[in-house]
């Protein structure tokens, strides 16, 4: 069984290939793709725990190339200590649990508005009508994007994410245009917040400082880029993957509808079972021996989060969707210093989306044409998911 991450059959269902890698080639050189795939839980954790051996600085260059909006600035996701330590500490001051918790009423309002807009139709596309606009609106409001600019904001997000999937030709030229527009827009927003702060994340980042070392405009712009990509795409994929898992396991869906308090633990199992991000690049800083294989210095390394979370040595019967299992230790959001800053927000948005959708719409059913998937080797999510519902519960 050959593992080619770009093959359609692998993108459609990579899990049998991950199992084969774990059993036969836990550290596997994907020659056509130019990287080494790491598939076992303990080995993936080793990569993530040792930034001195596996650097993150290559990440944005590997994914975006010349489409990185702020190539000159340090980026939270693509930096190593001590630079990363400083950025993370400052970002944490602005991105606090209290701030996330305070967003819940507004997130619920956005969700109910989106569902109300489709309630009379008896059908909707989960991705188009809910899981895409919810995080777009949420992140846009957090960053202080005006309502009139949200369509542009979504377009920039889509184009930059597509760039990470290796688009070429005319689409890449459009993406370059979006990157320029994105940078210009947020440079103006940052300067405006320096002059007149508001109650938004950009203003909080402008004010964040440590030992008189303020974040530069470039660093704030880099964080905005990260939120634009990860904040939108991760949540969209998580909500879609969650709904698909529930529809494929009707007994679990019925149990959750009867007891909505189970939704948070169901989300954790979705993250383990079919997470929104399947891996992220690192670069070996020296020759490293891992699982009996030598990874050469300078090589791109791809720790497979989604394979690690299906490792039977960590999670018994890993291919079984079980919302009662102990999911502690899953790495769907990464691990260690690069654990996803926005994980609490993604969890909250997914929880609210499922609560409101399952509470309002009964007999949710996938339409005959079925769902389609996004075309990505490192992101796992749905492009379309047309659903019908028979009964609308009173809100």
Report yes or no on 1 lying in a domain: no
Alpha-carbon distance of 312 to 30, in angstroms, equals 23
Helix (H, G, I), strand (E, B) or coil at 52: coil
Helices (H), the chain: 8-12, 15-24, 41-49, 59-64, 83-94, 97-102, 104-116, 126, 133-143, 150-164, 170-195, 201-207, 217-226, 232-248, 250-258, 263-273, 305-308, 343-360
Position 216 scores a pLDDT of 80
Alpha-carbon distance of 270 to 322, in angstroms, equals 9
Position 54 scores a pLDDT of 95
Tokens read off for 377 = 């080797």
- Single out the residue of 284, 229, 230, 233 nearest to residue 34, CA to CA: 284
Return per-residue pLDDT of the chain as tens, 395 residues. 789 999 999 999 999 999 999 999 999 999 888 899 999 999 999 999 999 999 988 765 655 556 565 655 566 666 778 877 877 887 777 677 888 888 999 999 999 999 999 999 999 999 999 999 999 899 888 888 888 998 898 888 777 766 655 544 556 677 778 888 988 999 999 999 989 999 888 888 888 654 456 778 888 888 887 787 777 889 999 999 999 999 999 999 999 999 999 999 999 999 999 999 999 999 999 999 999 999 999 999 999 999 999 999 999 999 999 999 999 999 999 998 778 888 999 999 999 999 999 999 999 999 999 999 998 888 999 999 999 998 655 54
Position 364 scores a pLDDT of 96
For residue 336, the domain's CATH number is: 1.10.630.10
300 burial level (CB within 10 Å; 0-12, 13-18, 19+): middle
- Chain position carrying tokens 């030992």: 211
Report yes or no on 347 lying in a domain: yes
Alpha-carbon distance of 252 to 255, in angstroms, equals 5
47 Cβ partners below 8 Å, 6+ apart? 38, 53, 54, 282, 290, 301, 303
Position 57 scores a pLDDT of 81
Position 89 scores a pLDDT of 80
Position 36 scores a pLDDT of 97
Report yes or no on 285 lying in a domain: yes
Alpha-carbon distance of 323 to 52, in angstroms, equals 36
250 Cβ partners below 8 Å, 6+ apart? none
Position 210 scores a pLDDT of 47
Structural domains counted in the chain: 1
Report yes or no on 387 lying in a domain: yes
Helix (H, G, I), strand (E, B) or coil at 380: coil
- Chain position carrying tokens 């949710």: 364
Position 226 scores a pLDDT of 78
- How are beta strands 288-290 and 282-284 bridged, if at all? unpaired
Q: Quick one: how far is CA 367 from the chain centroid?
A: 26
- Single out the residue of 55, 14, 20 nearest to residue 306, CA to CA: 14
Report yes or no on 129 lying in a domain: yes
- Chain position carrying tokens 């490192």: 378
95 burial level (CB within 10 Å; 0-12, 13-18, 19+): buried
Report yes or no on 313 lying in a domain: yes
Position 169 scores a pLDDT of 52
pTM metric for this prediction: 0.91
Helix (H, G, I), strand (E, B) or coil at 201: helix
Which residues form the domain of 157? Answer: 8-392
Report yes or no on 2 lying in a domain: no
Report yes or no on 46 lying in a domain: yes
Alpha-carbon distance of 338 to 299, in angstroms, equals 20
């Amino acid at each position: 069984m050959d593992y080619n991450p770009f093959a359609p059959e692998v993108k459609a269902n990579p899990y049998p290939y991950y199992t084969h890698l774990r059993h036969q080639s836990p550290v596997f050189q994907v020659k056509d793709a130019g990287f080494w795939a790491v598939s076992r839980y303990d080995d993936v954790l080793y990569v993530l725990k040792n930034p001195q051996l596996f650097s993150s600085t290559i990440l944005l260059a590997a994914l975006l190339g010349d489409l990185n909006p702020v190539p000159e600035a340090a980026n939270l996701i693509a930096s190593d200590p001590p630079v990363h330590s400083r950025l993370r500490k400052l970002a944490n001051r602005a991105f606090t649990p209290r701030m996330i918790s305070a967003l819940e009423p507004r997130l619920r309002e956005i969700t109910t508005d989106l569902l109300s807009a489709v309630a009379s139709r008896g059908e909707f596309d989960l991705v188009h009508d809910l899981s895409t606009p919810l995080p777009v609106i949420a992140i846009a409001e957090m960053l202080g994007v005006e309502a009139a600019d949200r369509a542009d904001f979504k377009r920039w997000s889509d184009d930059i994410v597509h760039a990470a999937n290796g688009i070429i030709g005319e689409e890449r030229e459009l993406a370059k245009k979006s990157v320029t527009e994105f940078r210009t827009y947020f440079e103006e927003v940052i300067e405006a917040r320096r002059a007149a702060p508001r109650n938004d994340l950009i203003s909080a980042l402008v004010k964040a400082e440590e030992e008189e070392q303020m974040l530069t405009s470039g660093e704030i712009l880099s964080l905005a880029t990260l939120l634009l990509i990860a904040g939108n795409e991760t949540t969209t994929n998580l909500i879609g993957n969650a709904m698909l898992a529930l529809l494929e396991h009707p007994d679990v869906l019925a149990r959750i509808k009867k007891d909505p308090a189970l939704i948070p633990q169901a989300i954790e199992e979705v993250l383990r079972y079919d997470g929104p991000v399947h891996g992220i690049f690192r670069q070996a800083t020296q020759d490293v021996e891992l699982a009996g294989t030598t990874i050469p210095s300078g090589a791109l390394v791809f720790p497979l989060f989604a394979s690690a979370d299906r490792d039977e040595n960590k999670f018994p019967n890993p291919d079984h969707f079980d919302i009662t299992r102990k999911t502690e230790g899953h790495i769907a959001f990464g691990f260690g210093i690069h654990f996803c800053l926005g994980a609490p927000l993604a969890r909250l948005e997914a929880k609210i989306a499922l609560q409101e959708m399952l509470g309002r719409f009964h007999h949710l059913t996938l339409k005959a044409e079925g769902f389609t998937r996004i075309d990505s080797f490192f992101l796992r999510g749905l492009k379309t998911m047309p659903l019908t519902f028979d009964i609308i519960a009173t809100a």
